[in-house]
Amino acid sequence: MKTQTAQTALLKSSNRAVWRIPLRVLNALITVWAAATISFFLVKMLPGDPVSAYLGPITNVSKERQAEIRESLGLNDPLLVQYFNYLQGLLQFDLGNSYQQNQDVLVIIGRGIGPTVEISVIALLFAVVFVTLGQFLLRAKTPWGSYGTLRRRIVDAFNLLAVAVPTYWLGFLLLMVFSFGLGLFPSSAGQGIRSAVLPGLALGIPVAGYLGQVLSVELDAAELKPFALTSYAKSMTRGSYALQHGLKNAAIPTASLVTNIVGSLLGGAVLVETVFARSGLGKVVLDAITMRDMPVILGFVFFSTLVFALLGVLLEIFVSLVDPRQR
């Protein structure tokens, strides 16, 4: 009887594992559709005339010309027809044309990705460096002891402040100290990789705070595992144990932060690129909101949601590969 129960439980677990990734893909598709639908109808509910947003500062346009523009934009169609035309365009990755730039929205977003990815990569590098230094300070054996309350407080305080401090304020502070004060880095873009260091640092510090908090908790939990005592009995240091065993324990919880990190980078990029006068996705979105360029706004919502959904699927695959219990 017990054998049959165990076999039944194993079969159910296997069935769940088989459907886990396909269900995650389906959930991702539903998420993208929901975000596209909500953003479309929210844009349609906004006050103001889309034709006026299309014309921008141009005011001396005849009624006939405005009617032609309205017809060309499909604004005379019923709302549901506009909605289904919009969904059809998304399925073909046709995000329409920008009102202000009269260019394909996909081209505009693609042009802004490069600078944003540049400072995002630098931000991740800074985050890895800070997190590594923090864990080294906590766990490495030093002349003043292998562990200390003071070092724990220092690392915890950094992680807390890194998450709490507003990104734009941090950007201004870095500009004042390292650019205007010390003159070590340029204050605006266009001067090579040096101009991306401060924006990357402003984005990387909050990410380091997120990662540092989770990694500290998971590595501390790993040190309470039964096999930790065996490892220490074999003269293994805290640092060696963290590298060989602790990181495995922290891999899945840390990887689950990927979507939060990407959200932090995309959200922070809007502020950081404004503070440092950089071109990128942040500036594209800010200009689109300012000029009420609805196709660009909708395109960015679709693009960012798609990125989040893909990351969720990849995270599910990663978890199934790393954690045998999820197979």
pLDDT digit string, tens, across residues 60-69: 767 777 777 7
Dihedral sign for Cα atoms in the order 282, 315, 197, 239: positive
The closest alpha carbon to 204, from 286, 121, 105, 92, belongs to: 121
pLDDT digit string, tens, across residues 258-301: 777 777 777 777 778 878 878 888 788 888 888 788 888 888 88
pLDDT digit string, tens, across residues 129-153: 888 888 777 766 655 444 567 777 8
Q: What is the mean pLDDT of the chain?
A: 76
What is the model's pLDDT at position 10? 44
pLDDT digit string, tens, across residues 219-247: 777 666 666 666 665 666 666 666 666 66
Answer with the residue of higher pLDDT: 79 or 51. Answer: 79
| CA–CA separation, 131 and 137 (whole Å) | 10
* 199 φ/ψ angles, rounded to the nearest 5 degrees: -60, -40
**CATH dotted code for 114-294:** 1.10.3720.10
The tokens for 162 are 């890194």
What is the model's pLDDT at position 95? 83
pLDDT digit string, tens, across residues 152-205: 788 888 888 888 888 878 888 888 888 787 877 776 666 667 778 888 888 888
With a pLDDT cut of 90, the percent of the chain lying above it is 1
Are 222 and 228 spatial neighbours (Cβ–Cβ below 8 Å)?
yes
What is the model's pLDDT at position 2? 47
| CA–CA separation, 314 and 310 (whole Å) | 6
What is the model's pLDDT at position 276? 81
The closest alpha carbon to 69, from 40, 49, 39, 48, belongs to: 49
Are 301 and 294 spatial neighbours (Cβ–Cβ below 8 Å)?
no
What mean pLDDT do residues 60-88 have?
79
User: pLDDT band for position 98 (50/70/90)?
Assistant: confident
Longest dimension (CA), the chain: 86
